[in-house]
Amino acid sequence: MGPLLTLSNSPLWANLLTAFLIGIVFGFALEQAGFSSSRKLAGMFYGYDATVIKVFFTAAIFALVGSLIMNYFGLLDLDLVYVNEYYIGASIVGGIIMGVGFIMGGFCPGTGICAVAIGKIDALVYIFGGFVGAFLFAESYPLLAEFASSSYKGPVKINEWMGLSPGVFAFILIIAAVAMFWFAEKAEQKFPRPDITNEV
Amino acid sequence: MQKKPYMNPYLAGCLLGTALLAAMYFSGRGLGASGGIKYAVVSAVGAISPQHAENSPYYSTYFKDKESPLKNWLVFEVMGVLLGGFISGAISGRLKLKVEHSPKISSKRRLFFAFLGGVFFVYGAQLARGCTSGAALSGMAVLSTAGFVTMVAIFGSAYMFAWFFRKIWI
C-alpha cells in the first residue's frame, strides 16, 4: 500500500534518493518532449506548436487515472497524498503573474532547469531571474502576507466542489482533453511556422 | 552528432505522468520546480546573513528545525531534473551552449526578457504556492481546485499577454 515511504516511516535519505531518481525521469521526459526549447514552448501561445498542451494534459490525466486505479485496488491511499491548499486570490493573481513570466521568458521553472542541463544560456539567465524573483518575494512577504493567506478554502478537491465522483470528473476531463488535442492539431496546421519549428 | 527528433508528445506525456505517479506512490506528493529555487535562495540568505533570516517572518520558518533547507525533497528532485535533462540531451545530440532566440531579435534582448520572465514567474509561483509543476500539473493530478485554477490563470494570462510580446517570438 502506498505512499510507500510515508507509510513505512522511511528515513530522510530514502526519500531524498527517491526524489533524485524521480527527478531524473522528470527531467528526461521534459527534454525528450522538447521543453528545453523556449521557442517550442512559446509556440503554444502563437499556435505554431501545441506540444505543451498535449504533454501537459496527457501527463496530468495519466497520473490522475493511474492513481485512481491504484486507489481502487488498494495500492495507494489517496488520503495520504498531498492536495494543494486553495487560496483563491493568491492562486489567481500568482497564476497571472506566472503567465506574464511565461510569455516573456519562454520557460516555466521546470522547463528552464531542464534547458540549463543541455546548455541553453537563456535558460540559465532565466533561472538566475528566478532566484531574484524568489528573493524579492521573501523580502516583500511582510507586505503580501495578508493577501497571500486570505480567502483560504483548504485542500478542496474540484470534483467534490462540483458534487461529482473522482471517476466521473476524470472521464469529463479526458473528453475535454481529447477535444483540446484535436484543436491543438488543427491550430498547428492553421498557423504553421516551418521556419521556427524546423529550427527548434 | 546528428540532432534526433523529439519524442511523440503523447508518449512524452505518459513518461512525465509516470514520474508524477511515482512521486505520489512513493512519497505521497507531487513534482515541483520553483520550490527547489526557493530553498536554494532561503539557504543562501541563511548562510550570508543568519541574523536577517532569523528576524524575517518568512525565512525563519525554514530554519526552525535546525536542518538545512537544502535537505529537501524538491532540492534533490531538481538535481535529478538537471541530470535527466542532460542524459536526454546527450543521447539526442542536443547538448550545446547557446542563446536560443528568434532571428528577429538580438541575443541581448532575449536574455533581458529571459531574466525578467524568471523574476516574474518565480515571484508568482511563490504567491500561488507552486508553479506549472507543483501547482498546475501535480495539483490537477490530485484533483485539487487550486491546481485547476492556477493552470487556467497561467495559460489564460500567457494568452492575454502573448500579443504584447509577439515580437520576441514570431
Do B109 and B85 have their domain in common? no
* Chain A residues touching B156 at Cβ < 8 A: 95-96, 99
Binned average pLDDT, 10 residues per bin, chain A of 200 residues: 94 96 98 98 96 98 98 98 97 98 98 98 98 97 95 97 97 98 96 92
- For residue B33, how many C-alpha atoms fall within 13 Å in the half-sphere facing its CB? 30
B19-66 tens-digit pLDDT: 999 999 999 999 999 999 999 999 999 999 999 999 999 999 999 887
- Residue at which a domain ends, from B80, B96, B112: B96
**Cα distance from A165 to chain B (closest Cα, Å)?**
11
Does A26 sit within 8 Å of B16, measured CB to CB?
yes
Residues B88 and B6 in one domain: yes
Cβ contact, residue pair A86, B144, below 8 Å: yes
**B144: closest CA among A170, A57, A158, A149?**
A158
- Whether B92 and B129 map to the same domain: the answer is no
C-alpha cell belonging to residue A5: 515511504
* B90: closest CA of chain A, how far (Å): 8
**B85 to A31: CB separation less than 8 angstroms, yes or no:** yes
Co-location of B134 and B72 in the same domain: no
Q: Check: CB of residue B29 under 8 Å from CB of residue A82.
A: yes
Same domain as B6, residue B83: yes
Together in a domain, B76 and B123: no
Among A9, A32, A46, which would you mutate to test the B interface (most chain B Cβ atoms within 10 Å of its Cβ)? Answer: A32
Cell of A192: 504553421
Q: Low-confidence residues of chain B, pLDDT below 50?
A: none
Chain A nearest C-alpha distance from B64 (Å): 16
User: What residues of B are in contact with residue A117 (Cβ under 8 Å)?
Assistant: 81-86, 89
Verify that B7 and B90 share a domain, yes or no. Answer: yes
> How many distinct structural domains can be found in chain B?
2
Residue A95's contacts (CB-CB under 8 Å, 6 or more residues apart) are B124, B128, B135, B149, B150, B151, B152, B153, B154, B156, B157
Say yes or no: B83 and B121 in one domain: no
| Mutation for testing the B interface, residue in A69, A85, A107, A108 having most B CBs under 10 Å | A108
DSSP per-residue letters across chain B: -PPPPPPPHHHHHHHHHHHHHHHHHHHSS---SHHHHHHHHHHHHHHH-HHHHHH-TTGGGGGTTSS-TTSSHHHHHHHHHHHHHHHHHHHTT----B----TTS-HHHHHHHHHHHHHHHHHHHHHHTS-IIIIIIHHHHTTBHHHHHHHHHHHHHHHHHHTTTGGGT-
Which residue in A2, A193, A111 sits closest to B122, CA to CA? A111
Nearest CA in chain B to A120: B98
Q: Do B137 and A159 touch (CB under 8 A)?
A: no
B23 plus B89 within the same structural domain: yes
Residue of A nearest to B89 (CA): A118
Q: Residue A128: count other Cβ atoms within 10 Å of its Cβ.
A: 18
Could you tell me how many CB contacts below 8 A there are between chain A and chain B? 531
The answer to whether residues B54 and B62 touch, using CB atoms and an 8 Å cutoff, is no
The phi and psi torsions of A165 (rounded to 5 degrees) equal -75, 155
Residue-range definition of the domain harbouring residue B54? 1-96
Stated pTM of the model: 0.97
pLDDT of residue B1: 63
Query: If you measure CA to CA, which chain B residue comes closest to A55?
Result: B13
Q: Are residues B78 and B113 in the same domain?
A: no
User: Distance (Å, rounded) from C-alpha B9 to C-alpha A51?
Assistant: 6
Among B45, B65, B96, residue at a domain's last position: B96
Q: Is B105 on the interface with A (CB under 8 A)?
A: no
User: B152 and chain A: CB distance < 8 Å anywhere?
Assistant: yes
In degrees rounded to 5, what are phi and psi of residue A153? Answer: -115, -5
Task: Give the distance from CA B105 to its chain's centroid.
Answer: 25
Residue B2 is predicted with a pLDDT of 75
Domain end position, chosen among B79, B96, B113: B96
Structural domain boundaries in chain A:
31-190
Residue from A145, A133, A82, A87 nearest A108 by CA: A133
Residues B5 and B88 in one domain: yes
Q: Is B106 on the interface with A (CB under 8 A)?
A: no
Evaluate whether ipTM surpasses 0.85.
yes
Instruction: Assess whether B161 and B143 both reside in one domain.
Output: yes
- List phi, psi (to 5°) of A65: -65, -40
Instruction: Enter the C-alpha cell of residue A11.
Output: 528515513
**DSSP result, chain A:** -BSHHHHTT--HHHHHHHHHHHHHHHHHHHHHHTTT-HHHHHHHHHSS--HHHHHHHHHHHHHHHHHHHHHHTTSB-GGGS----EEHHHHHHHHHHHHHHHHHHS--HHHHHHHHHTTBHHHHHHHHHHHHHHHHHHHHHHHHHHHHTSSEEES-BHHHHHT--HHHHHHHHHHHHHHHHHHHHHHHHHS--HHHHTT-
The answer to whether B117 contacts A104, with C-beta atoms less than 8 Å apart, is yes
* Per-residue confidence (pLDDT) for residue B65, from 0 to 100: 80
Nearest to B125 among A30, A85, A98 (CB): A98
pLDDT value of residue B64: 86
The rounded distance, in Å, linking the Cα atoms of B161 and A102 is 10
Confidence (pLDDT) at B66 = 77
Contact list in A for residue B57 (CB cut-off 8 A) is: 141-142, 145
Cα B4 to Cα B8: distance, rounded to the nearest angstrom: 12
| Cross-strand bridge partners of residue A154 | A86
